[in-house]
């Protein structure tokens, strides 16, 4: 087999690090690695033959007749049309007990009716043929305000998965305020093992941003509930939303989490994300929102402090790049957002209807037209993306911004990959070739 270097190799010569953005392999290389990379088809010693085989398996070398862009396009299209997983995000209510200033949702205080819930179960049942995993995400509004509905629907959906001989995977995104001992027990009964909660800074900062409608504080209640989840062995991720107004408070938040959780902090997954002007496009260049470059710098600074406090750094965005088949579930055929009124969308940030649970997907000309941009989205049609070395770990960035805002929202790797790789290698202790 004739070989060539991958077009997705990223070399940091000063650090002797090599990264491949298609496989996300990261190694510290030696002279033999360099020699093979320059002349992969030369005759080699037994030892260097083994090294060449390893470089091939890690993606640093590929067959010389392989068109890597075509292969990536095929992988993208296969993932887009794959029906092994049916991913359903369910909003049992769009009402929320918080009044966060950056919320993009149009809260109409709708709870899902029993007729809509029954139609939802039938819709999922009709789409489970051949599916290997039913993946359910509970979302809102605040989904725990409709806990009884989550309980009844979970039982029906779990039985559906059992009847179709597919796995059942359930996750909830909640503000965490209503996680009492009894509601946590109900989540366990509903087969929900993973929970995402947001904390937006230390107590004072968080309570000025994520507060109850009457102005009540939420931080300490959420902190206690988060600890209770960890003590009961739930998989808990804490999302910290960043903009320019709360950066000063993040070290205090990390200190508080470290002290309050003690050894439990090793079980917590911390992550950072950008606050974006989803509902207010005219504020894109406001004094509030961070640029992606600024966000990258903040992640570096805060994650370094996380290491000092002995938090785990997950092998996930924004800390470490991972291969992507699609940027997100919204562009996959078998992924749906179900709103409280039964309408079906594709994205948390865009409730444009592509159908409903009563009549199905794309049941008329309007819903067909609304569905098309998601399924037609392909970053490999973009000349800039095709020539980008981080394409396999970004895949064009957020489809919502590309389709509806006509803006590119690339992931941070476009701006800080080399810096991040150095940081990761230092954290992990390296892997020598």
- Looking at 78-82, 227-231, 308-312, 402-406, which range is the least confident one? 402-406
- State residue 211's pLDDT score: 86
pLDDT at 139: 96
For residues 62 and 309, is the Cβ–Cβ distance under 8 A?
Answer: no
Neighbour-count burial for 344-365, b at 16+ CB within 10 Å, e otherwise: bbbbbbbbbbbbbbeeebbeee
What is the 3-state secondary structure of 100-149?
CCCCCCCCCCCECCHHHHHHHHHHHHHCCCCCCEEEEEECCCCHHHHHHH
- pLDDT for residue 404: 87
What residue has token string 């819709």?
123
Place of tokens 């794959």: 82
Question: Which residues, including other chains, have CB under 8 Å from residue 212's CB and lie 6 or more apart?
Answer: 97, 98, 99, 177, 218
The alpha carbon of residue 235 and the mean position of all alpha carbons in its chain are separated, in whole angstroms, by 15
| Backbone torsion region of residue 344, taken as left when φ is above 0, otherwise alpha when ψ lies between -120 and 50, otherwise beta | beta
pLDDT in tens, 179-195: 999 999 999 999 999 99
Q: What is the pLDDT of residue 429?
A: 66
Whether 5 has a pLDDT exceeding 60, the answer reads: yes
Q: Which helix (H) or strand (E) holds 428?
A: helix 413-428
**Cα 378 to Cα 380: distance, rounded to the nearest angstrom:** 5
Residue 280 has pLDDT above 90, yes or no: no
> Do residues 373 and 403 touch, judged by C-beta distance below 8 A?
yes
Tokens 């503000």, residue located: 175
| DSSP assignment letter at 178 | T
Domain coordinates in residue numbering, the chain? 3-66, 81-421
Angle of helix 181-189 relative to helix 147-163, nearest 10 degrees?
Answer: 20
pLDDT at 405 (0 to 100): 83
Q: Mean pLDDT over residues 354-372, rounded?
A: 97
Higher pLDDT, 15 or 4: 4
DSSP secondary structure string for all residues of 188-201: HHTTEEEEEEE--S
Nearest to 87, CA basis, from 134, 132, 157: 134
The string of pLDDT tens digits covering residues 294-331 is: 999 999 999 999 999 999 999 899 999 998 999 999 99
Band (431; pLDDT cuts 50, 70, 90): very low
- Long-range contacts at 16-21 (CB < 8 A, ≥ 24 apart): 17/421, 17/422, 17/425, 18/60, 18/433, 19/417, 19/421, 20/58, 20/59, 20/60, 21/321, 21/389, 21/390, 21/391, 21/392, 21/393, 21/413, 21/417
- pLDDT category of residue 287 using cuts at 50, 70 and 90: confident
Cβ neighbors of 297 (< 8 A, separation 6 or more) are: 416
Cα distance from N-terminal residue to C-terminal residue, the chain: 22
pLDDT digits (tens, 9 = 90+) for 112-139: 999 999 999 999 999 999 999 999 999 9
Task: State percent of the chain over pLDDT 70.
Answer: 95
What's the confidence (pLDDT) of residue 353?
96
Other C-beta atoms lying within 10 Å of the C-beta of residue 48: 16
Class at the top of the CATH hierarchy for domain 81-421: alpha beta
Share of the chain above pLDDT 90, in %: 82
Residues 5, 64: Cα–Cα separation, whole Å? 8
pLDDT classification of 433: cutoffs 50, 70, 90: very low
- Average per-residue pLDDT in the chain? 93
Helices 292-308 and 413-428: angle between axes, nearest 10 degrees? 10
More confident residue, 283 or 204: 204
């Amino acid at each position: 087999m004739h070989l060539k270097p991958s077009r997705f190799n990223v070399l940091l010569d000063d650090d002797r690090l090599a990264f491949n953005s298609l496989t996300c392999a990261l190694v510290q290389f030696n002279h033999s690695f360099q020699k093979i990379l320059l002349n992969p088809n030369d005759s080699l010693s037994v030892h260097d033959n083994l090294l060449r085989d390893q470089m091939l398996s890690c993606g640093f070398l590929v067959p010389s007749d392989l068109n890597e862009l075509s292969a990536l396009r095929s992988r993208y299209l296969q993932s887009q049309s794959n029906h092994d997983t049916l991913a359903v995000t369910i909003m049992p209510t769009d009402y929320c007990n918080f009044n966060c200033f950056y919320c993009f949702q149009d809260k109409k205080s709708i709870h899902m009716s029993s007729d809509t819930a029954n139609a939802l179960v039938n819709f999922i049942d009709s789409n489970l043929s051949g599916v290997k995993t039913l993946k359910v995400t509970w979302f809102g509004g605040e989904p725990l305000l409709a806990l009884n509905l989550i309980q009844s629907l979970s039982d029906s959906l779990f039985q559906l998965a059992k009847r179709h001989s597919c796995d059942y995977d359930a996750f909830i995104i909640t503000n965490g305020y209503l996680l009492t001992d009894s509601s946590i027990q109900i989540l366990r009964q509903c087969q929900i093992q993973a929970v995402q909660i947001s904390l937006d800074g230390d107590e004072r900062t968080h309570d000025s941003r994520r507060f109850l409608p009457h102005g009540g504080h939420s931080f300490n209640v959420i902190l206690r509930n988060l600890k209770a989840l960890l003590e009961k062995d739930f998989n808990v991720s804490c999302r910290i939303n960043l903009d320019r107004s709360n950066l000063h408070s993040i070290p205090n938040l990390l200190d508080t989490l470290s002290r309050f959780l003690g050894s439990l902090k090793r079980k917590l997954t911390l992550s950072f994300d950008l606050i974006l002007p989803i509902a207010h496009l005219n504020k894109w260049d406001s004094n509030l929102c961070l640029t992606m470059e600024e966000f990258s710098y903040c992640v570096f600074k805060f994650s370094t402090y996380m290491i000092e406090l002995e938090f785990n750094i997950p092998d996930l965005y924004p800390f470490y790049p991972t291969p992507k088949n699609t940027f997100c579930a919204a562009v996959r055929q078998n992924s749906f957002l179900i709103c409280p009124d039964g309408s079906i969308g594709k994205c948390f940030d865009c409730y444009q209807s592509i159908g409903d649970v009563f009549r199905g997907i794309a049941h008329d000309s309007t819903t067909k037209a609304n569905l098309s941009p998601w399924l037609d989205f392909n970053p490999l049609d973009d000349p800039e993306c095709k020539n980008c070395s981080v394409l396999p770990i970004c895949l064009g960035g957020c489809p919502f911004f590309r389709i509806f805002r006509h803006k590119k929202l690339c992931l941070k790797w476009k701006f800080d990959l080399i810096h991040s790789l150095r940081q990761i290698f230092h954290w992990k202790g390296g892997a020598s070739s």
